[in-house]
Structure formats: C-alpha cells, structure tokens
Amino acid sequence: MPEAAGLYYETHGAAGAPPLILSSGMGGSASYWRPNVAALAGHFHVIAYDHRGTGRSDRTVTPRIDSIGDDMLALMDALNLPRASIVGHAIGGMGGLTLALDTPARVDRLVVVNGWGRPDPYTARCFDARLNLLRHGGVRDYVHAQPIFLYPPQWISDHDRELAEEEGMHIAAFPADMVEQRILEAVDFDVMDRLAGLAVPTLLLTSDDDGLVPPGCSGLLAGAIPGARLETMKWGGHACNVTDPDTFNALILDFLRS
C-alpha cells in the first residue's frame, strides 16, 4: 500500500506529467475522486490521498483545517515534488487555500470546489444539524442523512439503491472523532483577511444547488482573491464532481491547462 508521511496515496497518469493533488472534503477519502481521475490523468500525474485520521492513512486526529495544507506539503516533500497544482473539495480546498497562502512557491494552480473563506450562517446551521445527528443519533444516522447535504434530491432518488449498498461500508470505516472535530474547526475557519495577498492562480468552482455551502461563499472568495476565476455549475449539489463529472472535469481542465 503506497504511503508517504503517514498518508495513504494513489497515483494515476504518466509519472512525467505535471503533478496534481486531489484533496477531498469532510470524508477525507481518495476514492471520492473516482469519477474524475481518468479524465484528469490524461493530462496530469494525479495524486489522490486519504486525509490523516481517515481511511488508510495514519488515524491520528488532526482537526485543524490548516493541517490539511500541512499534510499536502508533507506529501509533496515525501514524493520529491517541488510544486504541484491542487484541487480541493470543501475543507480540502480550504486546506489548499492555507497551503497557497503559507507556501505559494509550492503551488502552481489552486481549485477550491464549494469551499468558503469565512463561516456562512446557513452552512453553520447545516453543520449544527450534522453534529447533533452524530452526537445523539450516532454514526448510522449521520451516514444515512449525509446524501441530503451532498446531492440534489432527484439524484438521491435515482441512486437510492447504490447509496443504500454503500452505507454499510461508510459506517464501518467512519472516523467519528475526526469528523466531529473537523466540523467544529470548519465553522470557525476564517482566512478572508489574508486573501488579498494570495498570489496563486485560483479557480473557485461552485454549484447553484449546493445544499450545504451557498454559491455566494465562492463569490466572496472570488472577490477577495486577486485575479481569481469563478465558475458556477447550474446543477450538481455539493458533490458536483460526483453527480456531473463531465461538466466538472471540463471546467477543471480548462483552468488547469490554460
């Protein structure tokens, strides 16, 4: 099993191609990017990894959002990558923001998918509900409700069988302590006052029907980051890379290859 700096990782595409690190959201799994790796690996050396505290990585609980950026930097160092582009979903993208702010020389391009730079009241209410589900209903109730926050309603109806089949696997591997601490960190995350100094080419990608993070959060980031590009998918929910991978992949590749 490939491991570097305590992190499980997997690679796709030609080793000599430009490196691209994929960092997932709250779940922290490299497998989250399964709908996207083939398209991206046609142009990049793709590195997807399990966040520390989750999956096949070191299960040490590291709740701080900036620790996600620290771990991407540690992974780059372990793999002898002087620079890489970063695509991060939600808190994975927010970890990418902290990495680009702290060590801009190591980041070629940054894509933040459905992330935020300052707590949003709607998102905070959603996280309060999820935290109460986890604390009082337990892992099973949390995992069962999770699709409501990730996917559009019709997509959930159309994929109910697959979601039900995957539920047991997610319950068995669920990092409850990590998720609870990450939720608490996520609602306090605030880098808006630092973003005027961000010098890395950045794409903010959002979805109009995101049921967890309002698209205005990406708009605020785009307005604060010099030269940032904002793209909005009309449909796809919070996990738009899963529900509409073709549109997602095309937008990402257009930015990364420009």
Per-residue pLDDT of 191-230, as tens digits, reads 999 999 999 999 999 999 999 999 999 999 999 999 999 9
Domains of the chain: 3-256 (3.40.50.1820)
> Which run of H or E residues covers position 3?
strand 3-4
Contact criterion met (CB below 8 Å) for 177 and 104 = no
Contact criterion met (CB below 8 Å) for 46 and 109 = no
Buried b (16+ CB within 10 A) or exposed e, 169-182: ebeeebbeebbbbb
Q: Is 32 in a helix, a strand, or coil?
A: helix
In the numeric block, which tokens belong to residue 197? 């100094």
- Distance spanning both ends of the chain, measured CA to CA: 34
| Helix, strand, coil tally for the chain in percent (to 5) | 50, 15, 35
Q: What percent of the chain has pLDDT over 70?
A: 100
pLDDT recorded at residue 61: 79
pLDDT recorded at residue 24: 97
β-pair type (202-207, 7-12): unpaired
Supply the DSSP symbol for 35. Answer: T
> Which run of H or E residues covers position 113?
strand 107-113
pLDDT recorded at residue 96: 98
Contact criterion met (CB below 8 Å) for 178 and 63 = yes
Per-residue pLDDT of the chain (258 residues; tens, 9 = 90+): 798 899 999 999 999 999 999 999 998 999 999 999 999 999 999 999 999 998 899 888 777 899 999 999 999 999 999 999 999 999 999 999 999 999 999 999 999 999 999 999 999 999 999 999 999 999 999 999 999 999 999 999 999 999 999 999 999 999 999 999 999 999 999 999 999 999 999 999 999 999 999 999 999 999 999 999 999 999 999 999 999 999 999 999 999 999
